[in-house]
Amino acid sequence: MDFTHENIWRAIDRLAARFGYSSSGLARQAGLDSTSFNKSKRFSADGKPRWPSTESIARVLLATGAQMSDFLALAEENGHGLTSPQTLPLIGFVQAGSSGFFDEDGYPAGEGWDEIRFPETGADTQGAYALEISGESMMPLYREGDILVVSPSASLRKGDRVVVRTVHGEVMVKELMRQTPSRIDLKSLNPDHENRTLLTADITWMARVMWVSQ
């Protein structure tokens, strides 16, 4: 495929449409100026083509969860790229500590969930859900308003970022350092907070963070 001015802008327009955004809405979702992708910005006053920056493309991929391969597929003249976005249950991080929102295995349950759009990228999202971060306890990695997509069914490995809920209703996002049959060692994402060691008996469930929209 030729990386032409038309193809790259086509991919941005198609990506926006797949997620239910206008070009301006996609720019805002990616943390850019709302006019960044307007058609009037695609050519200079003297008619020379203007290209989106690599940073802009990286931001829209991060905001939507799409991969570069998806973006390139959308740039093809007859390309289709991503399938339509699915929806995942969404809840606030503080609410996640309350009873009634999860079953005993850490899957979404009960009422009070909102919804968020998420692309069908081929990843297994069966039973997955989204958490909206609040506060600054996970700075600088995660900020208030960031959305974490969490999968209770994903396998866990050392170095994974995980959401942990204790029997006392405490919910935290940490990095999994070590896991044994009797305990887990967790590394804090914020250097101002201490690492944690929890007994397995004190943990209701632990699930892997699969994706983040920042």
**Residues 63 and 93 reside in one and the same domain:** no
Which among 24, 50, 75 is the end of a domain? 75
Residues 143 and 185 in one domain: yes
Residues 169 and 194 in one domain: yes
pLDDT confidence of residue 158: 92
Please indicate, yes or no, whether residues 18 and 39 belong to a single structural domain of this protein: yes
Residue 185, pLDDT score: 97
**Residue 146, in any domain of the structure:** yes
pLDDT in tens, 128-176: 898 988 877 777 778 888 888 898 988 899 999 999 999 998 999 999 9
Q: How many domains does the chain have?
A: 2
| Between residues 119 and 26, the one the model is more confident about | 26
Per-residue pLDDT tens digits for 26-35: 898 889 998 9
DSSP 11-77: HHHHHHHHTT--HHHHHHHTTS-TTTT-GGGSB-TTS-B----HHHHHHHHHHHT--HHHHHHHHST
| 20-78 confidence digits (pLDDT tens) | 678 888 898 889 998 999 988 899 988 899 999 999 999 988 887 778 888 888 888 66
Residue 57 lies in a domain: yes
Evaluate if pTM is beyond 0.85. no
Which CATH number fits the domain that encloses residue 105? 2.10.109.10
Last residue of a domain, one of 56, 75, 94: 75
CA distance 200 to 120: 33
* Residue that finishes a domain, picked among 36, 55, 75: 75
pLDDT band (50, 70, 90) for residue 84: low
If asked whether residues 49 and 15 sit together in one domain, one would say yes
Whether the per-residue pLDDT at 2 is higher than 90: the answer is no
Q: Tell me, what's the pLDDT at 203? A: 95
- 47 is in which domain, residue-wise? 5-75
The answer to whether position 81 is within a domain reads no
User: What confidence tens digit (pLDDT) does each residue in 89-114 have?
Assistant: 898 888 888 878 888 888 888 778 88
Question: In this structure, are 120 and 18 located in the same domain?
Answer: no
Rounded to whole angstroms, how far apart are CA atoms 52 and 94? 37
Q: Specify if 141 maps to a domain.
A: yes
168 and 192 together in one domain: yes
CATH number for the domain spanning 43: value is 1.10.260.40
Of the candidates 70, 97, 72, 78, the residue with the CA atom closest to the CA atom of residue 4 = 72
